[in-house]
């Protein structure tokens, strides 16, 4: 015990720092205090041993109580409520209570450098304690919602009104037993139309939900167990160390750990457009859903999912899939115009038939005059009026092409699904059709035209190429390694000494790091420990360089500044250079020209040229400059040049040629220098070998920017390549092209590309290298970053437009023919040959099945042989007018002949004659559906064997028609036909094929057909004005 007391005394004395010359009473008090303190310490030690022993005791097999494990013991010192409050309230006081950011990291079991353990048990514990990084979505819209929406359609409401009239008049005329047939049949047909429309929209909504899940599944860089790796945003956990760079979305709420020049766009949360600076001293709080505008950093995740403000907000938002595309709007206008014309004709028919009836010009079945003034019974008058109104209603039913909106929905839904399979994810439906009109594509180089698989293939020290790193002097080698290891956003990971290295970062960073590690034996971890980073200027696409100031732990009197970036820009900042032996030499005009030739030579070989430069400055001078937060940028010493090879993609030249053949100009906009850009553009086929810089096909961004507005407008069409461009230059080019009437598609992957992506008619972002900011501003995401996929999107865009035009031609042929036949028959004979049920049946099988057959035609080579569709080009072209009017005229002539002479020609009664008209009319549409496959080409059967769906739909249509004629007599008001009559119907309908072939031999003017009517009207008005 005395030993313990002595130990306690020895330990306590330094703490209390008591004087040695104490009085005797003071010594006694001191001894008493020591004894009490030591006794308490001894008791505490013994108590801890007892606790440890008690933990080893076995748990009773049948406990009389239940333990509720509310929170895992691993995180017992902190809870998610407190963590959420620290960030949401930006509370420094609460943060300090936990010992600052380091204290929070300790409480979460996170190593600031190595991150969390990341094992299966660790992940499970964190999910249990703090939740997952997902948020609840509003429930998806059910099928019933779309049924209700379909009932709100004006066309459906008119048809339902017709159902009510038909039921009322039918029951009034024929009694309840048989009078409901017509009205009931129309209702069944309307119900089928509603069902098909609702199911189609429901499936499209489901497709949007799936696409939304894919687009929200962002890849995030995290450090786990010392290794940097990519995981899904949904797998981010509390305690994770997340790596952020320019353009990234912050994946969860958290705290700033380490980084430089970090600025965040919090407009999505606060509405403020100004960027917020994040650092460890004044504002270490990061919010989920915000975007990194500049710099880079590592953050400690403190809240995920529904515990973040972003999660709460997103859980209340559902994506609106009711977006109406420009083409849908035009089609709705066309449908409305046709419907109005149909109503006008129906009203005219109603008036004419009523006048004919009440003037005594109609006869009944026995040849007697129907209306004899006061001698006619009131009941007969009502029945006749009902019949007349029913005829007018039938014409309304015929006139409304309710299949057009459905055709667009089917076409867009089908093309979106297929484009997803072709590595293009559509974010905005309108982009599907707009892409078909694109006249110019402005594309990036890196990753789009090239593979983005970079490797250092050339290295120059001074004016000498270096093949063997052993020839480099030690001091110079150290400088190179410092410039690579400390001026980078990438990282190097190696699990064990014998395992392979893993490099992370941008493709350029990975190429330089792998070269320095594998060729120059760089030890990155050692360099990071030996130096302190003082200030960083992060790379962005405007500056095209990055810089860092560092101080050695061994020498606090000197600061080293390292720059890395575009070779010619770094060279312009240098006044001296190191040769291979490490000697410093001045750069005079001759030397500078030699370096420029070396850079141009590497660039001409399609290499990206990166330069390293260095400057050593005294600590005093650094402290003076530190107030301006600017690194030394002049009088640098050039360390060396590296050439990075990024090979072109294998199919990119063919894709570029396909676009050019289709009348679409391809322009390359890149940050590389003129010589690299020209070499890659020539290799990809954007430039022809004889096109050089002098003919204005290749221009630098700064030159283009300095043109006057008039010069830009004059030269923009000639430009094929813009090198050393900034995001502003790209935006400027897009604006100029749009002013000249071009439909512009633009690719972009960086945050600074956002303005150009928004300004363009079609914004195309990159799925792999693209930042989240770029993706949100785009209309279509190219999932594989490949230009060939852009060419595929162009093809699909044209296919969408072409398929809709095919269906419009087919639909209008049906409508025009049916409208004219019923109108002429009603005026002349006072009755209609095609009943409302029959016409709705035609509309149903032609609209739904016809839309499905023609909307699912796949892109063909022919589409890429045509010029782009202009912004102002009419939806219905002269070629379509020619095709549909000739086919409609043929059907009108044949069916009216059957109407007036059919009984005598076939020797049948009126009921069979009407069935022949109905059957022939339907079969004419079936045969005309083949003609609609090709608007211009004579061979309509080319490639038909590839479209199994089309052939299947034709077969189903014929089977359903046979069922209507032969088995559903009461429903369809038909009579059975014999083999000869079926043969006659088929023969008449088959003439549509040779007729379609002959018609396509007739050339038509490119000037829109309707413009002639406007021209005539204009000249008539001029004539009237001059006369009166």
Give the residue numbers marked as catalytic. Answer: 444
Q: Is the CA virtual torsion 550, 553, 559, 560 positive or negative?
A: negative
In 3D space, the residue among 476, 765, 455, 440 whose CA is nearest the CA of residue 640 turns out to be 476
Q: How far apart are CA 884 and CA 513, in angstroms?
A: 65
Query: Structure tokens of 842?
Result: 């035609």
Asked if 673 and 566 touch (Cβ cutoff 8 Å), the reply is: yes
Q: Where are the alpha helices (DSSP H) in 435-579?
A: 474-485, 507-520, 524-530, 567-572
**Torsion of the alpha carbons at 1015, 1017, 1023 and 1027, rounded to the nearest 10:** -170
Query: Structure tokens of 333?
Result: 């206008």
List of residues 6+ apart from 680 with CB closer than 8 A? 445, 449, 450, 606, 648, 668, 670, 672
465 class by beta-carbon count within 10 Å (0-12 exposed, 13-18 middle, 19+ buried): middle
Q: How far apart are CA 273 and CA 1026, in angstroms?
A: 59
Query: Structure tokens of 341?
Result: 């014309």
Q: How far apart are CA 123 and CA 79, in angstroms?
A: 16
Q: How far apart are the first and last CA of the chain?
A: 130
Q: How far apart are CA 534 and CA 261, in angstroms?
A: 11
**Quick check: helix, strand or coil at residue 1006?**
coil
Asked if 681 and 721 touch (Cβ cutoff 8 Å), the reply is: yes
In 3D space, the residue among 264, 435, 267, 407 whose CA is nearest the CA of residue 331 turns out to be 407
51 conformational bin, left if phi > 0, alpha if psi -120 to 50, beta if neither: alpha
* DSSP-assigned beta bridge partners for residue 637: 576, 614
Longest Cα–Cα distance of the chain, Å, equals 147
Q: How far apart are CA 919 and CA 648, in angstroms?
A: 59
In whole angstroms, how far apart are CA 121 and each of 69, 96, 117, 132, 454? 16, 30, 9, 15, 38
Determine the number of helices (DSSP H) and then strands (DSSP E) in the chain: 37, 26
* DSSP-assigned beta bridge partners for residue 455: 645
List of residues 6+ apart from 840 with CB closer than 8 A? 159, 185, 186, 189, 190, 193, 397
């Amino acid at each position: 015990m005395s030993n313990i007391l002595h130990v306690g005394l020895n330990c306590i004395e330094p703490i209390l720092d008591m004087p040695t010359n104490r009085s005797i009473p003071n010594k006694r008090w001191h001894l008493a205090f020591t004894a009490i303190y030591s006794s308490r310490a001894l008791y505490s030690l013994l108590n801890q041993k007892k606790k440890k022993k008690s933990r080893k005791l076995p748990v009773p097999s049948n406990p009389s109580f239940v333990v509720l494990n509310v929170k895992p013991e691993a995180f017992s010192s902190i809870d998610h409520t407190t963590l959420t409050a620290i960030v949401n309230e930006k509370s420094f006081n609460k943060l300090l209570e936990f010992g600052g950011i380091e204290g929070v990291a300790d409480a979460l079991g996170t190593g600031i450098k190595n991150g969390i353990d990341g094992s299966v048990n660790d992940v499970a514990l964190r999910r249990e304690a703090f939740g997952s990084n997902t948020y609840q979505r509003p429930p998806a819209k059910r099928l019933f919602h779309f049924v209700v929406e379909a009932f709100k359609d004006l066309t459906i409401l008119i048809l339902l009104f017709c159902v009510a009239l038909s039921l009322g008049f039918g029951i009034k005329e024929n009694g309840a037993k048989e009078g409901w047939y017509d009205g009931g049949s129309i209702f069944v047909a309307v119900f089928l139309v509603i069902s098909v429309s609702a199911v189609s929209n429901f499936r499209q909504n489901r497709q949007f939900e799936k696409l939304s899940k894919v687009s929200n599944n962002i890849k995030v860089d995290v450090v786990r167990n010392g290794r940097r790796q990519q995981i899904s945003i949904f797998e981010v956990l509390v305690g994770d160390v997340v790596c952020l760079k320019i353009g990234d979305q912050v994946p969860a709420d958290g705290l700033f750990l380490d980084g430089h020049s970090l600025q965040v766009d919090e407009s999505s949360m606060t509405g403020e457009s100004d960027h917020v600076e994040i650092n460890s001293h004044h504002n270490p709080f990061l919010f989920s859903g915000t975007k990194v505008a500049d710099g880079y950093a590592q953050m400690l995740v403190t809240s995920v999912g529904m515990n973040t403000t972003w999660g709460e907000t997103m859980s209340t938002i559902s994506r609106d899939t009711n977006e109406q595309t420009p083409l849908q709007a035009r089609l709705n206008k066309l449908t409305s115009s046709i419907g109005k014309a149909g109503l006008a004709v129906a009203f005219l028919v109603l008036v004419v038939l009523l006048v004919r009836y009440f003037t005594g010009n109609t006869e009944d079945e026995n040849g007697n005059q129907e209306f004899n003034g006061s001698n006619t019974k009131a009941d007969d008058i009502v029945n006749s009026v009902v019949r007349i109104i029913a005829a007018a209603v039938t014409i309304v039913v015929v006139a409304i092409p309710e299949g057009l909106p459905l055709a667009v929905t089917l076409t867009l839904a089908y093309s979106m699904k297929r484009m997803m399979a072709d590595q293009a994810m559509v974010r905005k439906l309108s982009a599907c059709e707009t892409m078909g009109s694109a006249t110019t594509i402005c594309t990036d180089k890196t990753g789009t035209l090239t593979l983005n698989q970079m490797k250092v293939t050339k290295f120059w020290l001074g004016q000498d190429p270096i093949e063997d790193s052993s020839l480099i002097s030690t001091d110079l080698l150290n400088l190179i390694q410092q410039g690579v290891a400390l001026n980078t956003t990438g990282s190097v990971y190696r699990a064990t000494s014998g395992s392979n290295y893993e490099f992370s970062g941008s493709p350029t960073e990975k190429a330089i790091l792998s070269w320095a590690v594998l060729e120059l034996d760089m030890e990155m971890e050692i360099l990071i420990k030996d130096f302190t980073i003082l200030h960083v200027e992060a790379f962005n696409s405007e500056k095209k360089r990055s810089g860092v100031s560092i101080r050695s732990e061994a020498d606090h009197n000197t600061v080293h500044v390292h720059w890395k970036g575009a070779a010619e820009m770094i060279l312009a900042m240098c006044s001296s250079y190191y040769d291979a032996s490490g000697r410093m030499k001045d750069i005079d005009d001759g030397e500078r020209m030699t370096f420029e030739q070396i850079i141009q030579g590497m660039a001409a070989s399609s290499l990206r040229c990166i330069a390293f430069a260095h400057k050593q400055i005294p600590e005093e001078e650094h402290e003076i400059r530190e107030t301006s937060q600017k690194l030394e940028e002049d009088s640098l010493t050039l360390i060396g040049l590296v050439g990075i090879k990024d090979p072109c993609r294998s199919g990119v030249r063919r894709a570029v040629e396909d676009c050019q053949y289709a009348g679409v100009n391809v322009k390359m906009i890149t940050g590389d220098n003129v010589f690299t850009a020209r070499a890659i553009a020539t290799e990809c086929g954007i430039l022809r070998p004889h096109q050089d810089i002098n003919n204005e096909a290749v221009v630098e961004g700064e030159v283009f920017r300095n043109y006057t507005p008039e010069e830009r407008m004059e030269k923009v069409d000639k430009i094929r390549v813009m090198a050393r461009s900034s995001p502003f230059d790209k935006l400027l080019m897009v604006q100029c092209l749009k002013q000249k009437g071009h439909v512009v598609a633009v690719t972009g992957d960086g945050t600074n590309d956002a303005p150009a992506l928004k300004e363009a008619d079609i914004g195309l972002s990159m799925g792999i290298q693209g930042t989240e900011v770029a993706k949100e501003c785009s209309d279509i995401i190219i999932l594989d970053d490949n230009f060939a996929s852009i060419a595929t999107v162009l093809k699909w865009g044209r296919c969408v437009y072409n398929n809709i035009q095919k269906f419009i031609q087919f639909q209008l042929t049906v409508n025009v023919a049916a409208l004219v036949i019923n109108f002429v028959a009603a005026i002349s004979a006072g009755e209609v040959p095609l009943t409302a049920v029959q016409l709705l049946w035609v509309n149903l099988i032609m609209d739904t099945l016809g839309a499905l057959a023609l909307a699912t035609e796949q892109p063909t080579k022919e589409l890429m042989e045509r010029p782009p569709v202009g912004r102002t080009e009419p939806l219905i072209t002269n070629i379509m007018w020619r095709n549909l009017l000739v086919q409609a005229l043929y059907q009108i002539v044949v069916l009216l002949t059957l109407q007036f002479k059919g009984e005598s020609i076939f020797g049948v009664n009126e009921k069979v004659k009407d069935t022949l008209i109905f059957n022939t009319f339907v079969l004419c549409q079936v045969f005309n559906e083949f003609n609609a496959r090709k608007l211009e080409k004579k061979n309509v059967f080319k490639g038909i064997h590839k479209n199994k769906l089309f052939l299947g739909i034709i077969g189903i249509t014929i089977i359903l028609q046979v069922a209507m004629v032969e088995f559903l007599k009461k429903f369809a008001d038909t009579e059975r036909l014999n083999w000869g009559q079926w043969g006659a119907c088929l023969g008449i309908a088959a003439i549509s094929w040779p007729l379609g072939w002959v018609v396509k031999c007739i050339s038509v003017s490119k000037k829109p057909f309707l413009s002639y009517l406007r021209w005539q009207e204009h000249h008539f008005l001029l004539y009237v004005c001059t006369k009166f």
